[in-house]
Amino acid sequence: MSGFGPVLAYLTSLAVALILRLIALPEALAALRPLWLPMVLAYWALNAPERPNLLAALLLGLICDALSDSALGAHALAFLLVAYASARLRPTLALVPWWQATLALAPVWAGYAAVMTGLDALAHHPAEAVLRWLPVAVTTAAWPLVCRLLQRLAATEQMN
């Protein structure tokens, strides 16, 4: 697991997730944007617990806060919760088939949305509920695909 390849896969996946989050989408599609960063963070928390996933969550959260002009620490806190919850779910999810894992992770995304909604209210900057909760469904649907892609990426990097 050690070496340059896996580290590159780790960093690449996080960077791509960040860029996918930032890319401008038409307004109709923007509400359907999956939670790319929580997904990738959850994947690494589930598959590579020895990586500094919590630290990555904090730093990426701060970056998102700076770029999206939310209160500094809001995304960081929510990402940390996702990474932590996924890490705690790891022993359970390792034993169940992929579709059960997909369903079991839905509450994690919902928790992320709930934390962000709460922090929005705290910062007196309420977002539309649909924009917060619709991505939960989209993320759940996208999880198996993203999971498979990341596995492929990690495998190729390891071969190299």
Q: 29 vs 130, which CB is nearer to another protein?
A: 29
Residue nearer to another protein on the CB measure, 26 or 130? 26
CA 66, distance to chain mean position in Å, is 17
Give the shortest CB-65-to-another protein separation in angstroms: 7
Question: Is 95 a residue that touches another protein (CB under 8 A)?
Answer: yes
Instruction: Please tell me the distance from the alpha carbon of residue 118 to that of residue 113, in angstroms, as a whole number.
Output: 9
- When asked if residue 114 is in the footprint of another protein (CB under 8 A), the reply is no
Which stretch in 27-35, 70-78, 106-114, 129-137 sits in contact with another protein by CB under 8 A? 70-78
Minimal distance, residue 69 CB to another protein, in Å: 8
| Separation of CA 125 from chain center | 22
Supply the minimum distance, in Å, between the C-beta of residue 160 and another protein: 17
Q: Per residue in 67-100, is it b (16+ CB within 10 Å) or e — as a string?
A: eeebeeebbbbbbbbbbbbbbebeeebeeeeeee
